[in-house]
Protein backbone atom coordinates (compact mmCIF):
# COMPACT_ATOMS: atom_id res chain seq x y z
CA UNK A 1 0.00 0.00 0.00
CA UNK A 2 1.36 3.36 -1.05
CA UNK A 3 -0.91 6.04 0.37
CA UNK A 4 -0.68 7.03 4.07
CA UNK A 5 -4.48 6.95 4.44
CA UNK A 6 -4.63 3.44 2.99
CA UNK A 7 -2.02 2.16 5.42
CA UNK A 8 -3.56 3.95 8.41
CA UNK A 9 -7.09 2.68 7.77
CA UNK A 10 -5.93 -0.87 7.05
CA UNK A 11 -3.82 -0.97 10.23
CA UNK A 12 -6.77 0.29 12.29
CA UNK A 13 -9.22 -2.18 10.70
CA UNK A 14 -6.75 -5.03 11.26
CA UNK A 15 -6.32 -4.02 14.91
CA UNK A 16 -10.07 -3.77 15.53
CA UNK A 17 -10.88 -7.15 14.00
CA UNK A 18 -8.47 -9.02 16.29
CA UNK A 19 -8.92 -12.75 15.64
CA UNK A 20 -12.12 -12.28 13.66
CA UNK A 21 -12.49 -12.19 9.89
CA UNK A 22 -13.74 -8.61 10.06
CA UNK A 23 -14.75 -6.05 12.69
CA UNK A 24 -18.32 -4.81 13.00
CA UNK A 25 -19.36 -1.24 12.17
CA UNK A 26 -19.77 -0.64 15.91
CA UNK A 27 -16.07 -1.43 16.38
CA UNK A 28 -15.04 1.47 14.13
CA UNK A 29 -14.63 4.88 15.79
CA UNK A 30 -14.07 7.54 13.11
CA UNK A 31 -12.14 9.73 15.55
CA UNK A 32 -9.45 7.04 15.69
CA UNK A 33 -8.73 7.55 11.97
CA UNK A 34 -9.58 11.25 11.80
CA UNK A 35 -6.44 12.14 9.80
CA UNK A 36 -7.53 9.74 7.04
CA UNK A 37 -11.27 10.49 7.12
CA UNK A 38 -11.14 12.78 4.07
CA UNK A 39 -10.06 9.81 1.94
CA UNK A 40 -12.44 7.24 3.41
CA UNK A 41 -15.94 6.04 2.60
CA UNK A 42 -18.49 3.51 3.85
CA UNK A 43 -20.74 1.38 1.66
CA UNK A 44 -24.20 0.23 2.69
CA UNK A 45 -26.61 -2.22 1.10
CA UNK A 46 -30.24 -1.25 0.78
CA UNK A 47 -32.67 -4.12 1.20
CA UNK A 48 -33.37 -4.49 -2.53
CA UNK A 49 -30.81 -2.16 -4.03
CA UNK A 50 -27.13 -1.90 -4.90
CA UNK A 51 -24.29 -0.92 -2.60
CA UNK A 52 -24.40 2.82 -2.05
CA UNK A 53 -22.18 5.36 -0.37
CA UNK A 54 -23.40 5.83 3.19
CA UNK A 55 -20.52 8.21 3.92
CA UNK A 56 -17.81 9.77 1.75
CA UNK A 57 -14.93 11.95 2.92
CA UNK A 58 -14.32 15.45 1.66
CA UNK A 59 -11.32 14.50 -0.48
CA UNK A 60 -13.24 11.59 -2.04
CA UNK A 61 -16.08 13.94 -2.95
CA UNK A 62 -13.57 16.49 -4.30
CA UNK A 63 -12.54 13.96 -6.94
CA UNK A 64 -16.09 14.06 -8.33
CA UNK A 65 -16.71 17.74 -7.56
CA UNK A 66 -19.92 16.82 -5.74
CA UNK A 67 -21.29 15.08 -2.68
CA UNK A 68 -21.59 11.39 -3.58
CA UNK A 69 -23.40 10.19 -0.45
CA UNK A 70 -26.34 8.04 -1.53
CA UNK A 71 -24.95 7.28 -4.99
CA UNK A 72 -24.50 3.68 -6.15
CA UNK A 73 -20.90 2.51 -5.86
CA UNK A 74 -20.98 0.87 -9.28
CA UNK A 75 -22.06 4.10 -11.01
CA UNK A 76 -18.71 5.86 -10.49
CA UNK A 77 -16.97 3.21 -12.62
CA UNK A 78 -16.59 2.98 -16.38
CA UNK A 79 -19.29 0.76 -17.86
CA UNK A 80 -16.82 -1.94 -18.91
CA UNK A 81 -15.58 -2.25 -15.30
CA UNK A 82 -18.91 -2.48 -13.51
CA UNK A 83 -19.37 -6.23 -13.72
CA UNK A 84 -15.87 -6.78 -12.31
CA UNK A 85 -16.58 -4.31 -9.49
CA UNK A 86 -19.85 -6.07 -8.61
CA UNK A 87 -18.05 -9.41 -8.53
CA UNK A 88 -15.25 -7.95 -6.41
CA UNK A 89 -17.68 -6.46 -3.89
CA UNK A 90 -19.54 -9.77 -3.63
CA UNK A 91 -16.31 -11.46 -2.61
CA UNK A 92 -15.35 -8.67 -0.18
CA UNK A 93 -18.77 -8.98 1.46
CA UNK A 94 -19.32 -12.74 1.39
CA UNK A 95 -15.75 -13.93 1.95
CA UNK A 96 -14.45 -11.12 4.18
CA UNK A 97 -11.56 -10.44 1.80
CA UNK A 98 -9.57 -7.22 2.19
CA UNK A 99 -8.52 -5.83 -1.18
CA UNK A 100 -6.22 -3.06 -2.41
CA UNK A 101 -6.61 -1.93 -6.00
CA UNK A 102 -4.92 0.32 -8.50
CA UNK A 103 -7.42 2.62 -10.19
CA UNK A 104 -7.20 5.20 -12.97
CA UNK A 105 -9.53 8.20 -12.79
CA UNK A 106 -10.67 9.97 -15.98
CA UNK A 107 -12.25 13.40 -16.45
CA UNK A 108 -14.29 14.71 -19.35
CA UNK A 109 -11.53 17.23 -20.11
CA UNK A 110 -8.99 14.43 -20.59
CA UNK A 111 -7.42 14.57 -17.14
CA UNK A 112 -6.33 11.34 -15.53
CA UNK A 113 -4.85 10.32 -12.22
CA UNK A 114 -3.65 7.14 -10.52
CA UNK A 115 -5.60 6.30 -7.38
CA UNK A 116 -5.25 3.68 -4.69
CA UNK A 117 -8.42 2.03 -3.41
CA UNK A 118 -8.80 -0.08 -0.28
CA UNK A 119 -11.88 -2.21 0.39
CA UNK A 120 -12.35 -3.68 3.87
CA UNK A 121 -15.32 -5.85 4.89
CA UNK A 122 -17.36 -5.10 7.99
CA UNK A 123 -19.16 -7.91 9.79
CA UNK A 124 -22.93 -7.74 9.62
CA UNK A 125 -25.94 -9.86 10.44
CA UNK A 126 -29.66 -9.72 9.85
CA UNK A 127 -30.66 -6.46 8.19
CA UNK A 128 -27.46 -4.57 9.02
CA UNK A 129 -26.76 -2.32 6.06
CA UNK A 130 -23.16 -1.12 6.47
CA UNK A 131 -21.01 -3.61 4.58
CA UNK A 132 -17.59 -2.11 3.83
CA UNK A 133 -15.07 0.53 4.82
CA UNK A 134 -12.90 1.94 2.06
CA UNK A 135 -10.27 4.42 1.01
CA UNK A 136 -9.97 6.15 -2.37
CA UNK A 137 -7.01 8.48 -2.73
CA UNK A 138 -4.71 9.72 -5.51
CA UNK A 139 -1.13 8.53 -5.22
CA UNK A 140 -0.14 12.04 -6.35
CA UNK A 141 -2.90 14.71 -6.14
CA UNK A 142 -3.60 15.94 -9.69
CA UNK A 143 -3.48 19.66 -10.44
CA UNK A 144 -7.14 19.55 -11.52
CA UNK A 145 -8.45 18.13 -8.23
CA UNK A 146 -11.62 19.98 -7.31
CA UNK A 147 -11.80 21.76 -10.68
CA UNK A 148 -12.39 18.83 -13.06
CA UNK A 149 -14.86 16.14 -12.04
CA UNK A 150 -13.95 12.48 -12.39
CA UNK A 151 -16.48 10.99 -14.79
CA UNK A 152 -15.33 7.37 -14.60
CA UNK A 153 -12.96 5.06 -12.78
CA UNK A 154 -11.03 2.23 -14.41
CA UNK A 155 -10.01 -0.83 -12.40
CA UNK A 156 -6.39 -1.67 -13.23
CA UNK A 157 -5.02 -4.05 -10.57
CA UNK A 158 -6.39 -5.92 -7.55
CA UNK A 159 -4.58 -7.68 -4.74
CA UNK A 160 -5.71 -9.45 -1.61
CA UNK A 161 -3.90 -8.22 1.49
CA UNK A 162 -3.48 -9.13 5.12
CA UNK A 163 -3.11 -12.01 7.50
CA UNK A 164 -4.83 -15.24 6.54
CA UNK A 165 -6.82 -16.59 9.46
CA UNK A 166 -6.75 -20.28 10.21
CA UNK A 167 -9.28 -22.55 8.48
CA UNK A 168 -10.00 -19.98 5.77
CA UNK A 169 -9.65 -20.68 2.07
CA UNK A 170 -8.15 -18.18 -0.33
CA UNK A 171 -10.68 -15.62 -1.57
CA UNK A 172 -12.11 -16.49 -4.95
CA UNK A 173 -11.95 -12.96 -6.36
CA UNK A 174 -8.53 -13.76 -7.81
CA UNK A 175 -10.03 -16.36 -10.08
CA UNK A 176 -12.94 -14.14 -11.11
CA UNK A 177 -10.70 -11.21 -12.01
CA UNK A 178 -8.17 -13.43 -13.79
CA UNK A 179 -10.85 -14.48 -16.27
CA UNK A 180 -11.67 -10.80 -16.84
CA UNK A 181 -7.97 -10.09 -17.27
CA UNK A 182 -7.90 -12.12 -20.47
CA UNK A 183 -10.51 -9.84 -22.00
CA UNK A 184 -9.82 -6.44 -20.49
CA UNK A 185 -6.13 -6.36 -19.70
CA UNK A 186 -6.42 -6.32 -15.90
CA UNK A 187 -3.27 -7.30 -14.03
CA UNK A 188 -3.69 -9.45 -10.94
CA UNK A 189 -1.09 -9.69 -8.19
CA UNK A 190 -1.48 -12.82 -6.11
CA UNK A 191 -1.26 -12.76 -2.33
CA UNK A 192 0.19 -10.23 0.06
CA UNK A 193 2.84 -10.62 2.67
CA UNK A 194 1.49 -11.48 6.07
CA UNK A 195 1.47 -8.51 8.41
CA UNK A 196 0.94 -8.79 12.17
CA UNK A 197 -1.76 -6.47 13.57
CA UNK A 198 -0.48 -2.97 14.28
CA UNK A 199 2.29 -3.03 11.70
CA UNK A 200 2.16 -1.40 8.30
CA UNK A 201 1.22 -3.51 5.35
CA UNK A 202 2.17 -2.77 1.76
**What CA–CA distance (Å, rounded) separates 193 from 202?**
8
Which tens digit of pLDDT belongs to each residue from 46-71? Answer: 766 788 999 999 999 999 999 999 99
pTM over 0.85: no
State the pLDDT at residue 180: 38
- Is 127 inside a domain boundary? yes
Residue 184: what pLDDT? 39
- Residue 27 included in any domain: yes
**According to DSSP H, which parts of the chain are helical?**
4-17, 58-64, 82-95, 173-184
CATH number for position 37: 3.30.450.20
- Rg of the chain over Cα atoms, rounded to whole angstroms, equals 16
- Name the domain count of the chain: 1
What pLDDT is attached to residue 90?
87
Q: What is the pLDDT of residue 129?
A: 76
State which residues of the chain have pLDDT below 70: 47-48, 126-128, 162-202
Listing DSSP states for 19-56 in one string gives TSSS-BGGG--GGGGGGGGGGEEEEEE-TTS-EEEEEE
Question: What burial class does residue 25 get, using C-beta atoms within 10 Å of its C-beta: 0-12 exposed, 13-18 middle, 19+ buried?
Answer: middle
**Residue range 119-135, pLDDT digits in tens:** 999 987 766 577 899 99
Q: What is the DSSP letter of 123?
A: B
Of the candidates 169, 126, 121, 91, the residue with the CA atom closest to the CA atom of residue 21: 121
> What confidence score (pLDDT) does residue 47 get?
62
Q: Tell how strand 130-138 and strand 112-121 pair up.
A: antiparallel
Residue 194 in domain: no
In a domain, 139, yes or no: yes
State which residues form the domain around 116: 4-188
* Centroid of chain to Cα 183: 23
pLDDT at 128 (0 to 100): 58
125 belongs to a structural domain: yes
Q: How much is the pLDDT for 52?
A: 92
In a domain, 198, yes or no: no
Tell me, yes or no, whether 117 lies in a domain.
yes
Q: Is residue 114 part of a domain?
A: yes
Amino acid sequence: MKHPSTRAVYDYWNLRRGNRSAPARSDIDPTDIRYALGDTFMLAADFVDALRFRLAGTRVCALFCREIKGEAFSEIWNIECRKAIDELMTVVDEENAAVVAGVTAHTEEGGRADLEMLLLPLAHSGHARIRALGVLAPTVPPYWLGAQAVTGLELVTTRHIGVQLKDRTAPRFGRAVVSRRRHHGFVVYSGGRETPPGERAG
